Amino acid sequence: MSLHVDGLIAPRSSLPELLDQYKSLIKEAKGLCITTENPKSTKTPVSVQRFLKAMLDCAPPGARDYVINSILATQGDPEKLLLQANIWFNNIIIPMRASGEKTPSGITPKPDPPIQVEFTPRTVKFDELTRERDGYRTSVTRLPLIGCLDVGPEESRAYVELAHIIPWSTISRKKDADELHATWGIIQQFGGIPPSDITGRINEPFNRLVMTLDEHHSFDRFDWCLIPDPYHIPPIPHCYMVRVHEKMHGTPVDGTIVTFLDHRDPGDTTHLPDPRFLRLHAAVAGIIHMSGAAEYIAKYLQDLRETRVLATDGGTPIMTLLTVHSLNKV
């Protein structure tokens, strides 16, 4: 793959040199830490240098040139490196991780041309279609759902939820137009996903997975992800392996091989999980854990929850904490 640098196309042979240059430039960010609108201080800052290394190492196929060019453009200026890291962190990592949370605003560069972001309502039709697609079993662990008739003698039925691969928090109505444009401008370049392919269709089956409650919660935290099956070259379409970054209650078994199939029509791939969405989810999971940002983000989102409750009820700190505890149990 050729790389575009300053309007020129760098030949393939220059890739190792460009990678060395990238690694050299990000060293200029040594000692700098990611900044956010965090309402409270945190004891676990995220190193800019470590984060930028993770951005390159975990970039989806085709996104490395975008990441490299963005860093080469800084020319090693520490302030520009910090700005670029903050833009990526606040406009793609946090919104992706903030599923079910208050979605924070970030540094919002305006894309050119403006990006159109559409919304789509949740519908029972799409929910049922997703369950039918997976044969009324969980998508990854294949546990039978409540109401599933095809159940073995040793199997118990599972209570499930429908998870989004690209979460609702990326198109939250609480975000203003500039924030939405910034997030989707980066998703388009880093994930290779045009906004028109998902933002008006976010509830359709190709962006949904059937999961147990624990699987869903840990998937949204990016404790685990699905990567293309590494044991087959070329890869088998729609075949993945579970990659566990943080073993928690409810995470599937690391290394489990998963092949998606539409049980309504095995030859139809239209409604199967979109490989681009799963690659983006896997990239973000890798970045969060490789950069050491998991604890920081969890604390950051917790602080936002507490700030939101305090702002709405005007209560004392202890009442705020009790309210947050109650909200978390809902």
Neighbouring residues of 34: CB distance < 8 A, sequence distance ≥ 6: 45, 46, 47, 48, 51, 85, 86, 89, 293, 296
Q: Where are the domains positioned within the chain? A: 3-111+290-329, 124-174+197-274
Q: How far apart are CA 51 and CA 26, in angstroms?
A: 10
Q: How far apart are CA 229 and CA 166, in angstroms?
A: 21
pLDDT the model gives residue 262: 96
User: Does the model's pTM come out above 0.85?
Assistant: no
Q: Are 207 and 274 in contact (CB under 8 A)?
A: yes
Reply yes or no on whether the pLDDT at 154 is more than 90. no
Q: What percent of the chain has pLDDT over 90?
A: 57
Question: What digits encode the pLDDT tens for the residues 211-231?
Answer: 999 999 999 999 999 999 999
pLDDT at 316 over 60: no
Q: In the block, which residue shows the tokens 């147990």?
A: 212
Provide the residue type at 219 as one letter: F
Segment 93-111 mean pLDDT: 63
Residues contacting 191, CB < 8 A, separation 6+: 60, 63, 276, 279, 280, 283
Residue 39 has pLDDT above 90, yes or no: no
Mean pLDDT within 176-181: 80
pLDDT of residue 65: 93
> What is the rounded distance in angstroms from the CA atom of residue 137 to the CA atom of residue 50?
39
Is the Cβ–Cβ distance between 91 and 108 less than 8 Å?
yes
> Measured at the alpha carbon of residue 105, what is the angle toward residues 99 and 106, in degrees to the nearest 5?
110
